[in-house]
Amino acid sequence: MAAAPKIFGIVLAGGEGKRLMPLTADRAKPAVPFGGGYRLIDFALSNLINSGLRQIVVLTQYKSHSLDRHVSQTWRLSGMLGAYVASVPAQQRLGKRWFSGSADAILQSLNLLRDEKPDIVVVVGADHVYRMDFSQMIRAHIEARAGVTVAAIRQPISLADQFGIIELDPKDPTRIAAFREKPKDAVGLADSPGEVLASMGNYVFDADVLIDAVQRDGSRADSNHDMGGDIVPDFVSRGEAAVYDLNRNDVPGATDRDRYYWRDVGTIESFFEAHQDLISALPVFNLYNQDWPIYSQQLNSPPAKFVRDGKNAVGTAIDSIVSLGCVVSGGHLERVVLGPWVTIESGAQVTDAVVFERVAIGANATVRRAILDKDVVVAPGASVGVDHEADRLRGFTVTESGITVVGKGVHVD
């Protein structure tokens, strides 16, 4: 009986996240809080851990302090010999330069693979919200006998120009015939003409093949040194790239409503909409799946509390998530996600909002369709999201769809 292959996980977490500004002004994109008590990176790491991987590195670069701290405090695999989740910054092993792309990040970190000598390497992004059992994708990769297997999710053909699109070989639908970036003339799938296969940014490689690919790419002056833009197309051109349709993935505890959920939360709009997916009675993405949990740091905090104010008004919340340590005193929440230790004072009205850790919203304040970063203070009677022109004059970001974003530590009068 053949020995089980040794699997190594790489999480690409060096993204700057410009489209999420100002939420990424002081932190890397994978460190952005999500869903009350999580960080974006927790979804990738939880999927890998739940899939049985026990040696995982997180390659970091941009403003990585809070990300490095979160990984070191949260992701300790105690009691497992040889098991670890380790944050690895750019080490400049190949010269005095930073990572110039995701493939270059792996090239500059090949010492990690040479030390562990894995058979297979799973490479994933750090800023998508989803559940996936990678052990099933690894088995499919081994059966396909391909150099790389690319995870893909079905998307409406009308959204093809927003993704890297995979076109299948008509003679062998497990193989990738073409990999096109944001095409405007995409062709639908043979079994579903209204859909296309979009790359999820997750890959499984044979380890020796990955090492050879990033080394060859590193010698090319015309490359952007990107996994999706350069490495995968090179495999496709040689007929060595397979596809893994997420429809084949069966995650324990998944419901029909959230079984194939995947969100790229790279913009303020998609980040906001992903939070709205969490809060309905039958959520589009279910955080309460105990068979495939999303792990994060467990804060030493008291439970959330809803109390009456001095006028005997009761704090209320409808279709909302309220994290540990929060106190809602006579205020009203509707379609809101509160991070830890948020306080809502008497008469405050908060609707359609994402509120990060330790925000204070004063008495009779109004917050509508907004994202408030950590430590924001909304003064009594002040408003956010009510008058967009006033928001802009105060230096807040207001998106085209009318979402107001207030940066970390701002005092709103």
CB 278 within 8 A of CB 319: no
* pLDDT (0 to 100) of residue 243: 96
| Mean pLDDT value of segment 209-232 | 88
Q: Specify binding-site residues for alpha-D-glucose 1-phosphate.
A: 164, 181-182, 199
Q: Specify binding-site residues.
A: 164, 181-182, 199
- Calculate ∠ Cα 271-275-278, nearest 5°: 145
Per-residue pLDDT at 132 exceeds 70: yes
* pLDDT (0 to 100) of residue 395: 95
Q: How far is CA 370 from CA 107, 227, 256, 337, 392, in A?
A: 40, 34, 30, 11, 13
* pLDDT (0 to 100) of residue 123: 97
Round to whole Å and give the CA distance between 398 and 178. 38
Per-residue pLDDT at 1 exceeds 60: no
Task: Enumerate residues 6+ apart whose C-beta is below 8 A from 66.
Answer: 26, 27, 28, 31
Tokens in use for 31?
Answer: 């460190």
DSSP string covering 226-261? -IIIIIHHHHHHTT-EEEEEGGG---TT--TTTTT-
CB 303 within 8 A of CB 264: no
More confident residue, 94 or 219: 219
Q: Which of 188, 283, 202 is nearest to 243 (CA)?
A: 202
* pLDDT (0 to 100) of residue 252: 95
Round to whole Å and give the CA distance between 51 and 136. 8
Lowest-confidence segment of 217-226, 232-241, 259-268 by average pLDDT: 217-226
Round to whole Å and give the CA distance between 200 and 192. 19
| Mean pLDDT value of segment 180-188 | 89
- At 57-92, the pLDDT tens digits run 999 988 888 888 988 888 887 666 788 899 988 776
- At 139-165, the pLDDT tens digits run 999 999 999 999 999 999 999 998 889
DSSP string covering 184-204? SS---BTTBTTEEEEEEEEEE
Share of the chain above pLDDT 70, in %: 97
Tokens in use for 68?
Answer: 């490095």
Considering the entire predicted model, what is its pTM? 0.93
Please, what is the average pLDDT of the chain?
91
CA atoms within 13 A on the CB side of 262: 22
Structural domains of the chain in order of their starting residue, each with its CATH number = 7-276 (3.90.550.10), 305-412 (2.160.10.10)
- At 285-332, the pLDDT tens digits run 999 999 999 999 877 899 999 988 777 677 899 999 999 999 999 899
* pLDDT (0 to 100) of residue 11: 96
Per-residue pLDDT at 14 exceeds 80: no
Query: Could you give phi then psi for residue 84, rounded to 5 degrees?
Result: -165, 155
